[in-house]
Structure 1
Amino acid sequence: MTAITLTDIPVSEIDLADTGFRITSPCHDIEHLSASICRYGIMVAPLVVCGQDKYIVVSGFRRIEAARHARLSRVTCRVIPAGDTLGAAMVAVTENAFSRELTSAELIRAIALLLGVMDAESIAKNATSIFNRPLNIRYINTLAHIHAMPDSVLDLLDKGRISIKACKNLVSMDAETQTEFLHLFSLIKVSSGLQMEIITWAKEICALEKISLSRLIQQSPLATNESDVPGLEGSDLGHKDMSALGKQFKAFLVQRRFPALTAAKNQVRKQIKALELDSGLQLALPENFEGLVYTMQMEFKTMDEFKTRLNRLAEIADNHNFKSLVDR
């Protein structure tokens, strides 16, 4: 790589609008960093490359943003001469990858950046020296396909609202369906495993009922008359907990996809309620009625409570609702 020089540069000559080398997510919370720079200065000099009219940031976007916020007029930077695009791209990745583990969105941005100057085979061959971890060609190509999805995918990955695993599932879908699923995950917050279930159930429902995903969402608890804005600003859902919305949407899909099972569960809930179990007794049925083992949990504090619970269990054993549950 071309030799790097240390140069004192006017902040006004650094182009923060050019984010071609940026792999980290934009961060507007720079108050603490700005205060630190005012007091102690910049500990590690940002890296820039000579542009036509201004310097382009390679690494250190937040540091330069914070320096500008602190009203510094000049910043000492490491400078790469113009023309070394490959070296600049590799440094942009390695400076982050060797200081901490890259997030999923950062890894995707890094792959996209490097694919602009080298092929997937070369990236895989040099992955440990660039990313501080091995990467195979297939995974690199998958990440490139995710980067080609609508821009909102990276924002959702940054916010932890969608997983790489879910994104890999969406890659093979058409652009419209990708956009609809990304919009869906902008409305709810669920675990990675539940994301996969939601994608599977939603696809199956849409295929069985011959409707679009957007139509399915409109028929769900997520339905809103407001504009489809990620983050829910101005919508009727904005005041609701996104995790709670995720649970509601899951329940909606389960009922829609498995109506018979849902009806059976509702009937069982009524039968259990009819048992009028004491607060110290809890009955758990096999998951989805697929097993044969039932669980009755009993809580007590004293011997008298223990005897009372045993007597109550004996009464329940003769209850018609209980027998119909067990002898199904």
Structure 2
Amino acid sequence: MITYKISMSCNDSDMFNYADKVISISAIDTKDDTCRLSLRTDSDALVASIRDIGLINPPILRQRQDLKYQIVCGFRRIKACQSLGWHEIRARVLLGDLPELDLLKLAILDNRSHRPLNVIEQARGIEKLSAHIPSRNRLEVLASVLGFPPNQKVFGKLSKLCRLPESIQAGVLDETITFEAAVDLHELSPEDALSFFDLFKGLKLSQNKQREVITLVQEIAIREDLQPGHVLQSKEIRTIMDQPELNQNEKGLKVRAYLKQRRFPMLAKAEEWFSKERKALKLNEHVHLTPPPYFEGGPYTIRMTFKSMKDFDERCKTLDAMAKNPALRRLLEPFK
């Protein structure tokens, strides 16, 4: 028998006793993900390493009452051995009746000993711990000891992330959807959240623009008494997404423009009117006229650039011509 010792905090430690055994892989319940933190268990590099060098770090298992073995640490290692056609594997089998909370602690610390946990692994770890620790304060203290972010705001966001479908969690890792945008989806139904995710897969949007799309769609859904997924399945959005001549950036611009027009129909008309009349002013690239935000009665802004007195005189002539142009009066009157 070997004693496996792992420190849980600065003040105490837990002792885990285990026996080295050779276990039939068929006796391992690979579908029991009680202690699994990672979404993906496949790794070509790990397969190659085990094939060439062997299994250096045996997985840790626990035998259940039904005599099947539960994986505590080493999901990827066992998956790699399976892909190599192994039928047996050397493992460390924990002895004694250990509570699930201790198994989770061991799984988290074992993962952290190999590499930093990614954001999804952190979220899954917090979610699994919270099932055993109802007190938020105790959970945050233990999570901090185990290496999770001590910031309460980040901690709360990680908890929300784990409630999303696994495909969206995977999308955070491959940057199809940003962390903040994914958190915004946590209160939606899985179907609606996946509708947003499917849209983002076909677009190239920054974090702020993804969040803008989520907000616009939710506001449209509330105003029109629809589900967000129904808004995203509109004919207009499908038409944009089905245009092969548009790249992802261009599709993103058109989708956002459509949503803004649908959400703020009067604002869209005002923007269209302003754009038309501004063109009639025949301003050049050195003079820019900007309306007040949302055309809500604030001041208009004129910005001009110049390098010399000659340039300055030219800009003044442009402004003088602008003041005499009837288009300026037409442009201002609708928004008095």
Q: Do they fold alike, i.e. is TM over 0.5?
A: yes
Q: Distance in 1 between matches of 2:27 and 2:245?
A: 43
The structure-2 alpha-carbon separation of the partners of 1:315 and 1:135, relative to structure 1 and needing over 3 Å to count, comes to closer
| SS of residue matched to 1:318 | helix
| SS of residue matched to 1:266 | helix
Q: Distance in 2 between matches of 1:81 and 1:192?
A: 47
Report deviation, 1:139. 7.6
| Residue of structure 2 equivalent to 1:182 | 194
Matched, 1:318 2:321: yes
Number of residue pairs aligned between Structure 1 and Structure 2: 307
Q: Distance in 1 between matches of 2:151 and 2:31?
A: 31
| SS of residue matched to 1:2 | strand
What are the residue-to-residue correspondences of 1:154-233 with 2, within 5 Å? Answer: 154-162=169-177, 165-166=180-181, 169-172=184-187, 175=189, 179-188=191-200, 189=203, 190-219=205-234, 221-223=236-238
Q: Distance in 2 between matches of 1:32 and 1:262?
A: 52
Q: Distance in 1 between matches of 2:244 and 2:24?
A: 43
The structure-2 alpha-carbon separation of the partners of 1:295 and 1:128, relative to structure 1 and needing over 3 Å to count, comes to same
| SS of residue matched to 1:4 | strand
The structure-2 alpha-carbon separation of the partners of 1:315 and 1:164, relative to structure 1 and needing over 3 Å to count, comes to closer
What are the superposed Cα offsets for residues 32-60 of structure 1, whole Å, 9 maximum, x if unpaired? 32223323334543332224444332222
Q: Distance in 2 between matches of 1:117 and 1:58?
A: 16
Q: Is the 8 A contact 2:292 2:301 kept in 1?
A: no
Q: Is the 8 A contact 2:108 2:125 kept in 1?
A: yes
What are the residue-to-residue correspondences of 1:229-244 with 2, within 5 Å? Answer: 236=242, 244=250
Matched, 1:65 2:79: yes
Q: Is the 8 A contact 1:80 1:88 kept in 2?
A: no
Q: Distance in 2 between matches of 1:167 and 1:90?
A: 26
The structure-2 alpha-carbon separation of the partners of 1:204 and 1:37, relative to structure 1 and needing over 3 Å to count, comes to same
| Residue of structure 2 equivalent to 1:228 | none
Matched, 1:47 2:60: yes
Q: 1:2 aligns with which of 3, 11, 16?
A: 16
The structure-2 alpha-carbon separation of the partners of 1:31 and 1:169, relative to structure 1 and needing over 3 Å to count, comes to closer
Q: Is the 8 A contact 2:122 2:148 kept in 1?
A: no
The structure-2 alpha-carbon separation of the partners of 1:266 and 1:236, relative to structure 1 and needing over 3 Å to count, comes to closer
Q: Distance in 2 between matches of 1:256 and 1:11?
A: 56
Q: Distance in 1 between matches of 2:248 and 2:19?
A: 49
The structure-2 alpha-carbon separation of the partners of 1:124 and 1:221, relative to structure 1 and needing over 3 Å to count, comes to same
Q: Distance in 2 between matches of 1:139 and 1:311?
A: 53
Q: Distance in 2 between matches of 1:291 and 1:124?
A: 49
Report deviation, 1:220. 5.5
Matched, 1:254 2:269: no
Q: Is the 8 A contact 1:156 1:186 kept in 2?
A: no
| SS of residue matched to 2:275 | helix
Q: Distance in 2 between matches of 1:238 and 1:98?
A: 46
Report deviation, 1:82. 6.1
| Residue of structure 2 equivalent to 1:293 | 301
Q: Distance in 1 between matches of 2:70 and 2:249?
A: 40
Structure-1-length-normalised TM-score: 0.72
Q: Distance in 2 between matches of 1:98 and 1:326?
A: 65
Letter in 2 for 1:208: R
Q: Percent identity?
A: 24
The structure-2 alpha-carbon separation of the partners of 1:323 and 1:126, relative to structure 1 and needing over 3 Å to count, comes to same
Report deviation, 1:8. 4.3
Larger Rg: 2
Report deviation, 1:258. 1.8
The structure-2 alpha-carbon separation of the partners of 1:307 and 1:49, relative to structure 1 and needing over 3 Å to count, comes to farther
Q: What runs of 5+ residues in structure 1 fail to find an aligned partner?
A: 225-234
Q: Is the 8 A contact 2:280 2:327 kept in 1?
A: no
Q: Distance in 2 between matches of 1:78 and 1:237?
A: 55
Matched, 1:123 2:139: yes
What are the residue-to-residue correspondences of 1:132-143 with 2, within 5 Å? Answer: 132-134=148-150
Report deviation, 1:245. 3.9
| Residue of structure 1 equivalent to 2:5 | none
Matched, 1:31 2:39: no
Report deviation, 1:24. 0.9
Q: Distance in 1 between matches of 2:212 and 2:75?
A: 38
Matched, 1:263 2:269: yes
What are the superposed Cα offsets for residues 241-267 of structure 1, whole Å, 9 maximum, x if unpaired? 555544333222211122222222223
Q: Is the 8 A contact 2:36 2:72 kept in 1?
A: yes
What are the superposed Cα offsets for residues 62-114 of structure 1, whole Å, 9 maximum, x if unpaired? 22222333344554433323632332211222233455543343233212322
| Residue of structure 2 equivalent to 1:227 | none
Q: Distance in 2 between matches of 1:243 and 1:43?
A: 47
Q: Distance in 1 between matches of 2:146 and 2:33?
A: 20
Report deviation, 1:183. 1.4
Q: Distance in 1 between matches of 2:85 and 2:287?
A: 64
Letter in 2 for 1:68: Q
